[in-house]
Structure 1
Amino acid sequence: MISCIIIDDEPYARDELAILLENDPDFEVVAQCSNAVEAMQAIAKYKPELIFLDIQMPKISGLELASMLDPDNLPRIVFVTAFDEYAITAFEKQAFDYLLKPIDDNRFASTLNRLRKDLTPKQLGPIATEKLEHIPCFCGNRLKVVATDAVQFIYSDMSGVHVATANELVHTHMTLRVLEEKTSLIYCHRQYLIAPKAIAEIELQEAGAEVTTRSGAKVPVSRRYLKQLKQLFGFQ
């Protein structure tokens, strides 16, 4: 079940969203908040996978609240607002989606379907599908053919998807989802894939963990994937 928090200063808007989510057994509303201060406390307490966030709220706006959240443990953010002019800024804040009030039922259902697919934990280890032997990459004006076995980790950020080997960092137009399906790399963070054979050490931390690869690179591990990663190597 996907845990979520509804954050909106309008009680009617919160109730409307809660009622819509009650009809879907895959989502659980663990808290409702009327302002950003309440929301920060609830997010720290419940660590939700998803928040529905209004933009125009008193004192601290939804966009400001999104900027205050820990980027390494960021829940999926669906902005829900009556104003469309904030859309570009919202996606710069790592928004998963942007819904306009009043919420259209079909549009909302589509968002939930995408969230359901995105937040369903992936099984660690090989997937029964044809694997890539090479990944098409680029570095400046050079086209690079990188052997999949040479890849230590792959990560995405605002500038694209980056492929790290022991010796170089290059870039690819492929998505993390496709790379996870077509290689033996596994998710360790929603923005990182890692090759299990490249892992030399896992350092446990308060908010998750950090992997050190055999070449000495540091890769974050989110709480969501830590248990599965430990089990992969026989740790309890």
Structure 2
Amino acid sequence: MIKVLVVDDEPLARKRLTSLIAREGDLTLVGESGDGVDARAKIEALGPELVFLDIKMPGISGLELGRTLHRDKPPYIIFTTAYTQYAVDAFAVDAVDYLLKPFGRERFAQALAKVRERLRNPRPIERDTGLDALLGQLSVLTAGLAGGGADRLAIKDGTRFKFLELGEITHVQADGDYLHVHTANGERSMIRERMQEIERRLAGGTFVRISRSVMLNLNHVKEMKPRQRGDYEFTLKSGQQFASGTTYRETVRNLIARLRRDH
């Protein structure tokens, strides 16, 4: 049995991974962790052979933790992240793998196949070289995240990924278990993802969630005007209109306060 540890600060992401792991007969989940400090302690105590490791976490980032583990008999690492800047190049290096969220069972299975092959035919020198190369590339990615540098959104389209420029996205709308991502040129991409997940991926930029089902890119908002009971109506440059929801009144108030400070 391959002992596995899941490290991610997002409970839903951990739940998704543990569900996939439970389907595999040769994997056994030895633990979960929501931050880098706790993860390092559990790796030392539990001795997992494989770690699914998120990059952006409080405390010690996945990248920093990966560097620490590299020194003395590290477990195999599969990095997971929702961000794309410089990440595509990571597939070319001889690390184990790099899963771009959201990923499905097929992509998960491909990553596991690489781990199983490495366990059958260990190649420590190649593995170390590949991991160093991957960590080097991810350091650039992490720096971009810290400075708000990620400028594209990766979405899964069948068996491939599409990369949308954040500046071109006008709004995101929820439709049941799916999201519709709209761009300025009129294109619409449908993805199976929760609104709170994409909200987290787009946090810290020009996107603001105004209701349970709508998130807007402020760069594409033409005007906003008050409605009844403290709600607001947002009009995009395209002419589309959206009303803010009761649950997000505080978010909109904070937005207005910020706009007043900036202007």
Larger Rg: 2
Name the structure where helix makes up a greater proportion of residues. Answer: 2
TM-score in terms of structure 1 length: 0.49
